[in-house]
Structures are given as C-alpha cells and as structure tokens.
Amino acid sequence: MDFNKVLALDLDGTLAETAGDLIAALNVVLASDGVDPVPLEAARSLLGAGGRALIERGYRRAGLPLARDKLDELFAGFLDYYNAHIDVHSHLFPGCEAALDRFAAAGWKLAVCTNKMEHSSKLLLGKLGALDRFAFVCGQDTFGAAKPNPRPLLETIRACGGAPATSVMVGDSITDIQTAHAAGSPVVAVDFGYTDTPVGELGPDRVISHFDQLWDAVRSLT
C-alpha cells in the first residue's frame, strides 16, 4: 500500500515567531490578578505546551498557586485577548514559505501539529497567509490530547493519508521530539524556537538553523 509523504510542523517557534503576541496575552491575564508582567526574554522557557501551560508557568514563575477552576477562567480570557491580537507581532520565519513550496511541489502533504488550540492555529495561519498550504491542522483540542502524547501526530499523519515511518515531524522543543519518538517518526528540530535547553541536546534526528536547510535534512532521513 502506498502512503503519502507527510511533513508535520509545529507552529509556535517552528513555523512562526509568535512569542510577542503570546507573552502579551499572558501579561494581560496576569495583570488582571495583580501579577507582575513576564518579560519577553523569558518566552523561551515558558512557551511550547499551549496556553493553559503558559498561564500555569507564568504563575509558577511568580511563586503563586493556581487552582484548576481559576485556570479555566483565566484561559478563557487569555484566548479572547490572544485571538483578537493574534498577528500584531507574529510572522513566519525566514525561508518558511519557500521551503513549504518545495516540499509541496515534490508531492509531500503538509500539516500542522501544535499544542495551540485548533481555532487559534487556523486563525493565525490565515492571518499570515499560510493556511491554504496545509492539508490538515491539528490543535491541542482536535483529538482531545496534547503533545507529547503521540495521538495528535499519529492522527494528523493518518488524516493526510500517511504513515509514521515515512513522515517527518518538524519542531522546536522537547515536546515535539518526544512526540515524534513516541509516534515512530523521525524528527527535525529548529534551533531558533522556544526551548531553554539547546535543542540539539534533546535527541532530534537532525537540527537546522534556517528553513533553507530543511529539504536536505528531511531527505537525509527519508
């Protein structure tokens, strides 16, 4: 049986620089509770696991407890603000569009697999003019599981008609690397994303520093 070649990419810190808008939304939420704002330079250690985790990490950074029911309330406010200001500072990383075009021309199915909520993911990709490039967009809520659980990646690959062994995950953090390993897919890590540990130390199959390098990295794995 023939399977499509699937390139599944993380969104925040991989496809797009989104830290400015995410941290701005976090700081609106923190300010509503009298918590000091988080500086943008702290983003690398806070982002990567979705909005709820971002809020939890913001409170933990301030040394404050956060009950589950309050987190749900804050997350709703976070999403409202973030979705309304989703592309103020965000942009695709250099070389991203050209790289995606090359894979699409070679017959690869392109997908997004992120811990962002699906609606926010599609909204952002649409604002950045990239949504139509992807055959499937999987958010944290699409299948009721978040990375590093492998289900989002496995279901994304399946939705694109692919198989894990012949698909490649591209991400920027330990979350993406663990997801790919658990799914049985090779993984390419970008070193310009959101992780406070150098991504090359986290066990990816390849590391790239620019999207111009993605084609050769993926071809070396497939």
**Residue 10 annotated to the active site:** yes
Q: In 3D, which of 214, 149, 137, 146 has the Cα closest to residue 179? A: 149
168: β partners:
7
Of 10, 12, 21, 176, which residue is the catalytic one? 10
Q: Which residues are catalytic?
A: 10
